[in-house]
Structure 1
Amino acid sequence: MEAEVPEALFQSMRHFLKEHPQWDQYQLVSSAVASFLFQNGSTDKAVAQHYLNGIFSR
């Protein structure tokens, strides 16, 4: 997937990744998408599992 993000958001992502070396850009984006989908009504069990894993494993 390719996406353009606003510069401020990109810089925030870079800062977060620099401060949290256990994360990578793919985990961050995947977690953000799962969170968005889950919080906006997705009923897919895989999305819910990914969302919950992101909350409790970090």
Structure 2
Amino acid sequence: MTDTLLQGLSTVAGEPVAAAGGATFHAVKPATGERLDPEYREIGDADLDRACRAAGEAGV
């Protein structure tokens, strides 16, 4: 199994996205339910729209 380094950053199409503030959340380790650091912050509606468009263009 490969370990993944969590960085607490949101990206859209490979580019970092500034946090919009608001709610925070943590990743969770599925096998144990353990909450993992660092915390993440939600992104804004415009960045979410951009992420959906980028995914569509990539055929995801």
Tell whether the structures are fold-level matches, with TM greater than 0.5: no
**Highest CA radius of gyration, 1 or 2?**
2
What TM-score, normalized to structure 2?
A: 0.30
Hey, which of these two has a bigger chunk of helix by percent?
A: 1
Hey, which of these two has a bigger chunk of strand by percent?
A: 2
What TM-score, normalized to structure 1?
A: 0.31
